[in-house]
């Protein structure tokens, strides 16, 4: 029990809602080591560097759980880099206290006149424990990465069987042949997609390496300032607009509040601020605007924005506000005025009718 206290053992993360994690395999390793009267030098090496031994066993890897017993945070709004640093500092302080019988925490910030440990030496020691591929914010649904799979004997047998079967299947489908089959399937799938409706079409911008209007009405996009580059999109190429780029898409007269119309667009944003996605306004300010508000945190540590559609008639705004959270990756700013850094992927489709 005393050793578990020194090693700050716990089956919860400690921060925030103190959620559950499984560290008991490390505790069982410690109990077994005491019961077998393991030599202290081996007890030390395996807990501090068991994974670095030549061909380490599963038990030696489990022993290194000593350095993962620290508190772990996943609270929204916390800074990942800050807490990743705190985890490493915890390892430094625990190791120096338990095995060296001294405190090194004071040297974290500055040198002390009568302290044998200098700040430089603190961070030299820090470097030994700063090589774990971990995240500063993790552990929302259990243990934090990286994790060691610990299947039972029966589960290990099933896992080996499935792995062997997958390997046999992969041999039967060499990578080159599989790539050909996949390409053929993609052609068939694309050919089977229904064509977009043409009735009432006002403008259609595919953004597939160009800003041409393919509706047949020749309302081609025009670069006013900057440069438009192109990258891979969900289908074909997509236009990439930086904050220095200004593009104008000539459109029809703004619709009235009694005239039905529809709008479809694929976009991806690189900003968290409030912005317009697509807008069409005349000199009086009448028209429509599809926009997103400032992003906020949504479940699973993602960010999202509410989608807002405004129909402006004269000086009156009417329309609807969608309170559904939208993944920030789907939000972008593409208008005839300016751009804050986004990718217009696939198409911009405007048409009359519902």
Q: How far apart are CA 283 and CA 293, in angstroms?
A: 24
Token look-up 């019988």 returns 101
Mean pLDDT score across all residues of the chain? 77
Q: What pLDDT was estimated at residue 159? A: 92
Q: Which residues contact 98 (CB under 8 A, 6 or more apart)?
A: 6, 7
Convert the pLDDT of each residue in 45-84 to its tens digit.
999 989 899 999 999 999 988 888 888 888 878 888 888 8
The two three-digit tokens of residue 187, written as one number: 């052609």
- pLDDT confidence of 301, banded at 50, 70, 90? low
The alpha carbon of 350 is separated from its chain's Cα centroid by a whole number of angstroms, namely: 32
CA distances from 111 to 82, 120, 243, 331, 335 (A): 22, 8, 45, 49, 56
Q: How far apart are CA 113 and CA 105, in angstroms?
A: 15
Which phi and psi (to 5°) does residue 270 adopt? -125, 35
> Half-sphere exposure (CA, 13 Å, Cβ side) for 37?
0
What is 211-224 written as a DSSP string?
--BTTSS----EEE
Q: What pLDDT was estimated at residue 102? A: 86
Does residue 35 register a pLDDT over 90? yes
Q: Which helix (H) or strand (E) covers residue 230, if one does?
A: strand 229-232
- pLDDT confidence of 346, banded at 50, 70, 90? very low
3-class DSSP state of 278: strand
3-class DSSP state of 175: helix
Q: How far apart are CA 268 and CA 261, in angstroms?
A: 23
Q: How far apart are CA 246 and CA 21, in angstroms?
A: 50
Q: How far apart are CA 40 and CA 296, in angstroms?
A: 51
Convert the pLDDT of each residue in 110-143 to its tens digit.
888 888 889 999 999 899 888 888 888 878 778 8
**Which residues of the chain form beta strands (DSSP E)?**
201-205, 222-225, 229-232, 237-241, 246-248, 261-269, 275-281, 287-292, 296-298, 302-313, 316-327, 342-352
The alpha carbon of 341 is separated from its chain's Cα centroid by a whole number of angstroms, namely: 18
**Which residues of 106-193 form beta strands (DSSP E)?**
none
Range of lowest pLDDT (21-35, 279-293, 331-345): 331-345
Is 254 within 8 Å of 288 (Cβ atoms)? yes
Is 198 within 8 Å of 204 (Cβ atoms)? no
Per-residue pLDDT averaged across 247-255, rounded? 69
Q: Which of 100, 215, 82 is closest to 136 using CA atoms?
A: 82
Q: How far apart are CA 262 and CA 276, in angstroms?
A: 17
Name the DSSP class of 12: B
């Amino acid at each position: 029990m005393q050793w578990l206290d020194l090693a700050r053992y716990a089956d919860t993360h400690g921060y925030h809602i103190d959620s559950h994690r499984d560290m008991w395999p490390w505790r069982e390793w410690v109990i077994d080591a005491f019961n077998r009267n393991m030599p202290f030098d081996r007890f030390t090496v395996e807990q501090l560097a068991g994974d670095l031994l030549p061909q380490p066993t599963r038990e030696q890897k489990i022993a290194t759980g000593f350095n993962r017993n620290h508190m772990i945070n996943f609270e929204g709004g916390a800074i990942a880099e800050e807490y990743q640093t705190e985890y490493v500092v915890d390892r430094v302080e625990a190791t120096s206290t338990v095995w060296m019988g001294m405190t090194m925490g004071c040297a974290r910030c500055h040198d002390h006149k009568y302290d044998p440990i200098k700040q430089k030496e603190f961070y030299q020691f820090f470097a030994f424990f700063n090589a774990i591929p971990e995240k500063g914010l993790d552990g929302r649904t259990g243990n934090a990465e990286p994790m060691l799979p610990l299947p039972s004997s029966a589960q290990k047998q099933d896992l080996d069987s499935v792995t062997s079967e997958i390997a046999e299947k992969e041999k039967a489908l060499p990578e080159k042949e599989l790539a050909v089959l996949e390409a053929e399937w993609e052609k068939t799938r694309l050919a089977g997609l229904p064509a977009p409706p043409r009735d009432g079409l006002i403008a259609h911008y595919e953004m597939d390496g160009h800003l041409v209007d393919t509706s047949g009405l020749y309302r081609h996009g025009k670069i006013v300032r900057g440069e438009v580059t192109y990258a891979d999109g969900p289908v074909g190429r997509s236009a990439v607009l930086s904050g220095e780029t200004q593009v104008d898409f000539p459109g029809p007269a703004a619709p009235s509040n009694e005239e039905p119309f529809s709008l479809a667009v694929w976009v991806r944003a690189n900003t968290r601020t409030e912005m317009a996605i697509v807008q069409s306004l005349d000199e009086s300010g009448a028209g429509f605007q599809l926009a997103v508000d400032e992003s906020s945190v949504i479940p699973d540590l993602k960010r999202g924005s509410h989608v807002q559609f405004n129909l402006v008639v004269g000086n009156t705004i009417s329309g609807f506000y969608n309170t559904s959270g939208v993944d920030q990756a789907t939000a972008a700013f593409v208008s005839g005025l300016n751009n804050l850094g986004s990718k217009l992927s696939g198409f911009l489709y405007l048409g009359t009718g519902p």
